[in-house]
Amino acid sequence: MGYLLFFIYLAVFCMLIPRISFFKKSGLAAKWLIGLFLIRVVVALLHAYIDINVLSPADSAEIHRLALRHYDMLKANPLDFFMDLFRSQYGNEYGELFGVEHSYWNNLKLNLQLKIVALFDLVSFSNFYVNTLLFNMLVFAGSVGLYRALTTKNKDLNLLLVIGVFLFPSGLFFTSAIQKDGFVWLLLCLIILMLSELQDVGWSLNRGVVILLCMVVLFALRSYLVLILLPAMIAFWMSGKKPAYSKWIFLGMALLTGMLFFGTRYIIPKADFPEIMVTRQRAFAESATGSNTGLPMPGLQPDVVSYAKAFLPAVKHAFLMPLPVKQEQPLLLPFAFELLMMELLFIMTLVKRKKNSEPLHHLLAFVAIVNILLIGYIVGNLGAIIRYRSLYLNLFFILFLLKIDFNYFRSILYIKNKKI
């Protein structure tokens, strides 16, 4: 029954995707939309198979198991099912907004995912693979939204954008499983689309509501990303007024963000972001005890000197690892070669890049750099770093493809071939 239901939904989605206005506005032909969706589905099935049969326990399989209790709650008492989202497990305590334990807000991340999967169960009859298909339909919509936002600024780079947005290996792999990464990618892409449309078309209530709802859900899932997006969105709005100064506006905002990171605690004592980072690093180190992909990371202290000392190790771990040489973990080799490809693309941008700078490009760069750097500071496990940074590495991949002057390198290869 589950297999039949899966293929019925798959056929329905393949018929609907080219007909839904949201997807049609991408400008991609029906065969491209369906083909890209099917690629995502194949990767999702591979990931689902690995989660069930190879990894134990895997996040997506565990979420599916835990969601069954919420599904029972939904059938028995729908009102209680939704009210449960606002119920603290710690009496009436709703403090510890950025806490990592005994915190309603920390539990909300998992609770929200379980509620969504329980809603999937209504139409999937609690089938794991059907839920995976439903989930990837949503995430695919997010990717289409990002493609739409970027193609309005780069109409002559459609193929490169298709590759960058839809086919980045680790981004595709980690957003295909039912876990936070896919939800975050969906929300982030929709926010970027709405910001792009606000800049190009102007304000509308619908766009404002979508941004607000996405930010609220994103805050529940990954609160620090919202804190990064807020200054990025302000810089993006300011850059829309002065596009020629966009790079400097974002650099100035990055500097201001760093100052606020260390200085806000003197105005609002509970907003002690350096201490919050220290707590998160320690909590992650405790949860990753015994991992065979652990990395040596200096313990943080809530002061500028400690963060400065940890800067180079954080950059090394988050931006430069894993290395393909002397790799003792064979499963990490594909990600090592992916990173090697990214480094080659980065070098190519330094050699010859296009002058197609846009505020939207700077927004993506700001979000990617800050998030990957924070991951380097907090996460001391290489396997987890690879997963968490995949979304933001995907943004870099898109930017590299947009920036590199491939005609220049093609002409060099052509000249060399002629000489041979």
pLDDT tens digit sequence for 151-192:
876 666 688 999 999 999 999 999 999 999 999 999 999 999
The two tokens of residue 261 are 């990171």
Number of domains in the chain: 2
Reported as a pLDDT band with limits 50, 70 and 90, residue 96 is low
Q: How confident is the model at residue 87 (pLDDT cuts 50, 70, 90)?
A: confident
Q: Which residues pair with 381 in a beta bridge?
A: 294
On whether residue 236 sits in a domain, the answer given is no
Q: Is the pLDDT score of 419 beyond 60?
A: no
307 with 211, same domain: the answer is: no
Give the chain's mean pLDDT. Answer: 89
Range of the domain at 310: 241-420
Amino acid in position 312? L
Q: Which own/partner contact pairs does 63-69 have at CB distance under 8 Å and 24+ positions apart? A: 63/110, 63/113, 63/114, 63/117, 63/178, 63/179, 64/117, 64/128, 64/131, 64/178, 66/110, 66/114, 67/113, 67/114, 67/115, 67/117, 67/118, 67/120, 67/121, 68/118, 68/121, 68/126
DSSP state of 204: -
Task: Examine the domain organization and report whether 211 and 356 are in the same domain.
Answer: no
Statement to judge: residues 262 and 384 lie in one domain = yes
Is residue 332 pLDDT above 90, yes or no? no
pLDDT of residue 1: 66
How would you class 331 by CB atoms within 10 Å of its CB: exposed for 0-12, middle for 13-18, buried for 19 or more?
exposed
In a domain, 402, yes or no: yes
How distant, in Å, are the alpha carbons of 38, 60, 127 from that of 175? Answer: 14, 11, 19
Q: Is the pLDDT of residue 101 over 80?
A: no
Half-sphere exposure at residue 98, Cβ-oriented, CA atoms within 13 angstroms: 17
Query: In this structure, are 191 and 252 located in the same domain?
Result: no
Residue 233 lies in a domain: no
160 and 78 within one domain? yes
Kindly report which listed range (48-52, 124-128, 231-235) carries the lowest average pLDDT score. Answer: 48-52
Mean pLDDT across 63-92: 86
**Same domain, yes or no: 246 and 216:** no
- Note whether 190 and 321 are same-domain residues: no
Give the C-alpha separation, 407 to 352, whole Å: 10
* pLDDT given for residue 291 in this prediction: 67
Q: Tell me the mean pLDDT in the region 91-108.
A: 69
pLDDT of residue 97: 67
Give the domain-ending residue among 190, 221, 252: 221
On whether residue 149 sits in a domain, the answer given is yes
- Asked whether residue 226 is domain-assigned, the answer is no
pLDDT digits (tens, 9 = 90+) for 249-305: 999 999 999 999 999 999 988 888 999 899 888 888 877 665 677 788 888 899 999
- 322-327: average pLDDT: 74
The answer to whether residue 419 sits within a structural domain is yes
Q: How far apart are CA 250 and CA 155, in angstroms?
A: 24
Q: Indicate the residue type of 240.
A: G
- The answer to whether position 314 is within a domain reads yes
pLDDT at 19: 95
Q: Over 50: is that where the pLDDT of 79 sits?
A: yes
In terms of domains, do 186 and 323 share one? no
- What does the pLDDT read at residue 187? 97
| CA–CA distances in Å: residue 34 to residues 11, 42, 411, 414, 419 | 10, 12, 34, 35, 43
What pLDDT, on a 0 to 100 scale, did the predictor assign at position 326? 64
pLDDT (mean) for 327-349: 88
For residues 63 and 97, state if they share a domain: yes
Query: Do 259 and 208 reside in the same domain of the chain?
Result: no
pLDDT tier at 361 (50, 70, 90 boundaries)?
very high
Say whether pLDDT at 196 is over 70: yes
Say which residues have a Cβ less than 8 Å from residue 177's Cβ, sequence separation at least 6. 44, 47, 48, 51, 58, 59, 60, 132
In angstroms, the CA 179 to CA 253 distance is 31
User: Mind giving me the DSSP string for 217-242?
Assistant: HHHHH-HHHHHHHHHHHHHHHHHHH-
Q: Over pLDDT 70: what percentage of the chain?
A: 91
Model confidence at 420: pLDDT above 50: no
Is 247 found in the same domain as 127? no
Residue 279 is assigned to a structural domain of this protein: yes
